[in-house]
Amino acid sequence: MTLSAATGSSPGDTRIARWPDGRTAAFQLQFDDNAPTQMERAIPELVRRGMAGTIYVNPANEPWKTREDLWLHPAPGIEYANHTYSHVGATSFAQLDDELTRCGEVIARCYPERPWPRLLSFGQPGGVPWTVTPEEVDRALVRHHLINRPPFKGYPFQFQGGLEEILALVDTALASGGMEYYVFHGVGGDWHSTPWEWFIALLDKLDAHRSEIWITDPVSCHQYETERDSASLAVRAGDGAFRISLSCPRDPRFYNLPLTLQTAAPPGWRQARVRQGAKTRLASVRDGWITYAAIPGGEEIAIGPEEF
């Protein structure tokens, strides 16, 4: 079957996909307080399925101290986020700054191969004194390169409708094309626990929609959305190929996540060769579009026929 440019588009027309790989929606699995059941049960299950998870850590708490040898070596796909060092709250800017600094230093030790400073997600600890002003919080987040997560939502504080209400988050994400998330504390045990069977059911539903949902972490999601919404494209055609410049005004030290681009293919193309710098790959043409990843602010992207 001969494939041609998508209806209403001309060959070379290029757009940035809403989510990586052209997926429909995004979903985040978040875990607070590095509870023991997260290490013992939830993380191994996420790793087994190849799913991303984000742990909002308090390195001064007992669950961290008793299993520090394990927490210091994050499993594949597991990200740590700043939940303050000791989960005692903050009644002054100085205390907040110290709590964020000490937690960040521990997280940096856990990923020695990564540059520092870098963006981290932040989740405000609950149930403790918090009298710092919103302006002081904003100042501290900027100082520590922290991205505030959306408001907490997790059982038993929300979702009194139980499992079906939690599973509906996946449907909401798919229907809206946006991002949804769920926050765990204990998983099948510990405090504020989400039942293990519910955890498995949520993962099963996400697995069933794996081709449609980007299961990601808060920082990657923030990076993609920020780059996507601020990037600009320029396309040149000639010599049977397209050359695309992709730029982004954000600081590349913190915003360097590849964006997914989609370029309308000329009639007859079944595959395209995509080059950016030293990297080259073959991309299939689906529904008239060539879908590929590119680094914003990097070298020019060249797209040609597969023999290009």
Mean pLDDT across 132-158: 98
Pick the CATH number of 14-18+232-305 from 2.40.50, 3.10.50, 1.10.3470, 2.60.40: 2.60.40
Find out whether 199 and 166 touch, Cβ atoms under 8 Å.
no
Tens digit of each residue's pLDDT (9 = 90 or more) over 206-244: 999 999 999 999 999 999 999 999 999 999 999 899 999
248-268 confidence digits (pLDDT tens) = 999 999 999 999 999 999 999
pLDDT at residue 4 greater than cutoff 70: no
Range 174-201 average pLDDT = 99
Q: Predicted confidence band at 7 (pLDDT cuts at 50, 70, 90)?
A: low
Q: For residues 266 and 272, what is the distance between their CA atoms, to the nearest angstrom?
A: 10
Q: Provide the angle, in degrees to the nearest 10, between the axes of the packed helices 93-110 and 134-143.
A: 30
Q: What is the pLDDT of residues 22-31, one digit of tens each?
A: 999 999 999 9
Confidence of residue 307 (pLDDT cuts 50, 70, 90): confident
DSSP per residue, 236-291: EEETTEEEEEEE--S-TTT--PPEEEEEEPPTT-SEEEEEETTEEEEEEEETTEEE
Average pLDDT of the segment spanning 125-137: 98
Query: Does the pLDDT at position 151 exceed 90?
Result: yes
High-pLDDT (> 70) share of the chain, %: 97
Write down the domain spans for the chain: 14-18+232-305, 24-210
Classify each residue of 116-133 as buried b or exposed e, where b means 16 or more C-beta atoms within 10 Å of its C-beta.
eeebbbbbbbeeeeeebe
What is the maximum span of the chain, computed from C-alpha positions, in angstroms?
A: 67
pLDDT at 5 over 80: no
pLDDT > 70? residue 2: no
Confidence of residue 290 (pLDDT cuts 50, 70, 90): very high
- pLDDT of res. 308: 78
Judge contact between 273 and 282, C-beta under 8 A.
yes
* 157-179: pLDDT as tens digits: 999 999 999 999 999 999 999 99
pLDDT band at 3 (very low <50, low <70, confident <90, very high): very low
Third-level CATH fold of 24-210: TIM Barrel (3.20.20)
Q: What is the pLDDT of residues 84-114, one digit of tens each?
A: 999 999 999 999 999 999 999 999 999 999 9
Prior bond of 117 cis (ω within 30°):
yes
Q: Is the peptide bond before 156 cis (omega within 30 degrees of 0)?
A: yes
Return the higher-pLDDT residue of 20 and 239. Answer: 20
Confidence of residue 6 (pLDDT cuts 50, 70, 90): low
How large is the average pLDDT for residues 273-280? 96
Q: Which tokens in the block code for residue 256? A: 């360097």
